[in-house]
Structure 1
Amino acid sequence: MSNLQYYNETGAGQKHSDLCHYSQAVVLGDIVKCSGQGGWDNTGKMDANDLKGQIDLAFENVNRVLQTVGLRGWEDVYSIRSYHVDIGASFDYVSEKLKKRIPGHRPIWTSIGVPRLAFPQMLIEIEVEAYKGRDAHL
């Protein structure tokens, strides 16, 4: 495992890494696996009463982590897993965000309803995998 490269973006990514003992991303050859990103701002704060705001921030956080690894961002994602505390209230908005963020690109996506996420105020968590191979546009 010593040849794996682990990454944390500065700000909330590093803060959560230090607090919970995990990394934001790992590079496995041409594949980048990104830890689940929640709807926190760059200081780690979340508004438990703002579902759309958390989704917007989770999308930004995914993009920021992928860029830390050297990717473009969402454009290089091939797989998405989203975890929703209230899937009925959040699924359609996440779907619309995907359509707007990557209109010409359709990664595979699994969406899961859960009773709770890592931090009590979290309403959404988005985990992705991306391709960092020779065909990626860096």
Structure 2
Amino acid sequence: MKESDDYETFMALKEEKLLKNYGIKPTHTAQEMEYLASKFPDNIKLFVAEKEGEMVYGAIIYESDNVAHGQYQESTEEGQRLRAPDFVLDQLLHKYLKEKKYFDFGISTENNGYYLNKGLVKYKETFGGRAVVYDTYKMDV
């Protein structure tokens, strides 16, 4: 695992998977993530696993004083085969649980929060995570 600034490659991977599986794009573009990371270098970081110089997994982490939040995570098929998500998440947990009060794996829902991805929740629970339900509000402006 290493820290990277290759948001272009990572977000292209994320967009490809989201379009293929759900017909949607990520909230942020690669350019937006690069801009945000440049403005908040202590708070937004990309961690990756590579095989022979090729990114096989990445995770964008948002940091605050008490929380490390997994905003985006994605893996190639090769990354899945190599269990790169398991490796990187284990490394991130060891890093952040020394520094932060909480590690937030990010959402486990689909369809704007209407569908719980039970397999994803179970995966996060294998790392000691637990589900938390947040109140959400919608306001027309």
TM-score, normalised relative to structure 1: 0.36
RCO higher in 1 or 2 (8 Å CA, sep ≥ 6)?
1
Who wins on radius of gyration, i.e. which is larger?
Answer: 2
TM-score, normalised relative to structure 2: 0.36
Q: Which has the higher helix share?
A: 2
